[in-house]
Chains A and B, each alone.
Chain A
Amino acid sequence: MHTLRVYRRNLGAHLRATLEYQADFWILVVAAVLTQGAGLVLIATIFARVPRIHGWGVWEVVLIFAMMVLAQGTSELLAEGTWGLAGLINRGELDRMLLRPYPCLLQVCASRVGMNAFGNVTVGGGLLVTALLHLDVAWTPARIGLALVLLPSALVIKVSLTVVANSTSFWLRGAINTFAAGMDQLGELTKYPLSIYGVGLQAVLATALPFAFIGFFPVSVFLDHGRLAWIGLLTPAVAVYCVLLAVTVFRRGLRRYESAGN
């Protein structure tokens, strides 16, 4: 509990500093709207020609998309600092974090707040609500319970995968981690129904790099969509797995840390 409280305060301090000294909240929201708008235009264009893609209707796809944007915003809010990890390692700046009586990974995560975090959380949340309103969901207690488990699990998966991607910096040793950026781009593919991709890619996105558990699978089971909808029930388990993976990879990497000469 103490650990979480300190994390929140650490993040809060950076958030305040970001807002106070650097950025205007509304400009950031507009920026996110424009960026994510491009993806929405693509979806709209496709559905202007065909009513369904692989059995998916427009608002169902928007729901997947919304989950991805919300997850991205969450990761930019909670773990943006990991994108600076390669630089921190390269410049020997983990030294100062290792000198404090607090977990190094959490210090890294909280060391920055993503500029697009607020925009993406707002846009993602807005799209999520809009899609749900159009989808005419029967809100039984079971379905509400399901949503309450799926949503946090999906967000945790995204944050953990961001940590995993960037923890490779301990091995790659460059000043920026292009591998992590590439992995993130790959994850972006799951903004659209998984079934439009080849079997190999589907397998990768469902297992080795389980990005499909952020949007596609949880939405499938929530809407009870398709034969494989049940896979979405694994989302919480995948979340636990991703957290353990993130912590393990980071710890292993940290053992390789050698500071830096001046």
Chain B
Amino acid sequence: MAPLIEATGLVKEFRRPRRDSGLTGALKHLVTRRFDIHRAVDGIDLRVGEGESVAYAGPNGAGKSTTVKLLTGILVPTAGEVRVAGVVPHRDRIANAKNVGVVFGQRTQLWWDLPVGDTFELLRDMYRIPAADYRRSLGRLTEVLEIGPLLPVLARKLSLGQRMRADLAAALLHQPHILYLDEPTIGLDLDVKDRVRTFLRQLVADGTTILLTTHDIGDIEEVCGRIVVIDEGRIRHDGPVEVLRDALASASSVRFQLSASAPLDLIRERLGDAEVTAPGERELVVRFDRTTRTAGAVAATVMGLVEVRDLRINDEGIADLIRRIHRPDEVTARSGAA
């Protein structure tokens, strides 16, 4: 069976105006029109079968959102081919739109100045959803996403968590069999995150094909069966999520933001076998073995030695983590240099 999403040699270049500073620079640009070419997506081959749930992960600026925009037809590829459910998205935007749902975590798809319920009705009209289907679909989504009370509220008055749930409903009203999610849990509270993940798991169980970009290991572990890691526009890793889960079970890390620079030697002395690095002047990352110590103990030790402004557990970059699984030496060398 042909894959549902199929990208071959996909390339997207952006032209950035090259301007020297000052007025002469601006004038020169007007005349010469020089541009820097930036390759955001650099030859991606991706096949996603029906019913798969794929995490598309990678550091900031890796090209995740650009890939989603290419797959949804918002952007026209510089080179390469895309086909989604037999349709070339940028060539036949409207046919493609009916097959897919899209959620951008950072940007709402709702009409900003309309009540949520009005948005849903407009979408019903645009997608030509038959009345009975619409009622069923809306009923189900309002129930699972608990958005009933939000229907009369203006989209711009919603909290981030409410907005995300309304956005999910808006993307799913027409019951698409493919759902793209670009950082769907970014900035959400833990309990909303949980609800969204549970909902997505349910969709996958019901047969919806999902492609989800994220920085969040939780999204990947709980929703996806396969992870594709991209960095600098290229695919670096493609495999089942279990591999990642195993790595997480034994390794863990805490990242600290400090008020002053860290007394590295002292911290290393206290933490024994843990790996302590300082990626920035007031930043500290401690990697440790979960079987011998806990994140809490590590945090307590560090806080006893230096004033901590903020700390995050396990937010090691996913790309780093994957690289560590495959090429442990390379990353150690990199963090040593930092």
* Chain A residues in the interface with B (C-beta under 8 A): 2, 5-6, 9-10, 13-14, 16-17, 21, 92-93, 95-96, 98-102, 111, 255, 258-259, 261-262
Contact = CB atoms under 8 A, between A and B. Distances in A.
A102 B65 CA distance: 23
B14 interface: yes
Contact of A5 (B94, B104, B115, B125): B125
Interface string B206-249: 00000000000000000000000000000000000000000000
Given A13-B118, A14-B111, A14-B113, 20 more contacts: A6-B126, A9-B121, A9-B125, A13-B111, A21-B113, A92-B107, A93-B107, A95-B104, A96-B104, A96-B107, A99-B97, A100-B97, A100-B127, A101-B95, A101-B97, A101-B127, A102-B94, A111-B111, A255-B76, A258-B14
A100 B97 CA distance: 6
8 contacts: A16-B118, A17-B118, A95-B107, A98-B72, A98-B73, A111-B111, A258-B14, A258-B75
A64 B118 CA distance: 39
B125 A96 contact: no
Interface of B: 14, 65, 69, 72-76, 93-95, 97-98, 102, 104, 106-109, 111, 113-115, 118, 121-123, 125-128, 154
A257 to B, nearest CB: 8
Contacts of A111: 111
Contact of A99 (B65, B109, B113, B154): B109
A102 B115 contact: no
A229 to B, nearest CB: 44
A261 B102 CA distance: 17
Contact of A21 (B14, B121, B126, B154): B154
B122 A9 contact: yes
A99 B102 contact: yes
A133 B15 CA distance: 59
Contacts of B102: 99
B74 A6 contact: no
A11 B65 CA distance: 31
Among the interface residues B97, B108, B122, which one has the most CB atoms of the partner chain A within 10 A?
B122
B129 to A, nearest CB: 11
Nearest to B101: A99
A262 B68 CA distance: 14
B114 A259 contact: no
A120 to B, nearest CB: 21
Contacts of A262: 65, 106
Contacts, number: 68
B118 A101 contact: no
A255 B73 CA distance: 12
B101 to A, nearest CB: 9
Given A98-B74, A101-B97, A17 B114 contact: yes
Contact of A95 (B69, B98, B127, B154): B69
Contacts of A93: 107
A100 B14 contact: no
A21 to B, nearest CB: 7
A17 B111 CA distance: 11
B74 A100 contact: no
A95 B114 contact: no
Contacts of A10: 122
B113 A101 contact: no
Nearest to A5: B125
A13 B97 contact: no
Q: Would you list the 6 A-B pairs with minimal beta carbon distance, nearest first?
A: A101-B97, A101-B94, A102-B126, A13-B118, A6-B125, A96-B109
Contacts of B106: 262
Contact of A98 (B93, B104, B126): B93
B98 A17 contact: no
A259 B75 contact: yes
Contacts of B108: 96
B107 A6 contact: no
A95 B126 CA distance: 16
Contacts of B126: 6, 100-102
Contacts of B98: 101
Nearest to A95: B74
Contacts of B111: 13-14, 111
Nearest to A103: B94
Contact of B122 (A2, A13, A259): A13
Contacts of B74: 95, 98-99, 259
A2 B128 contact: yes
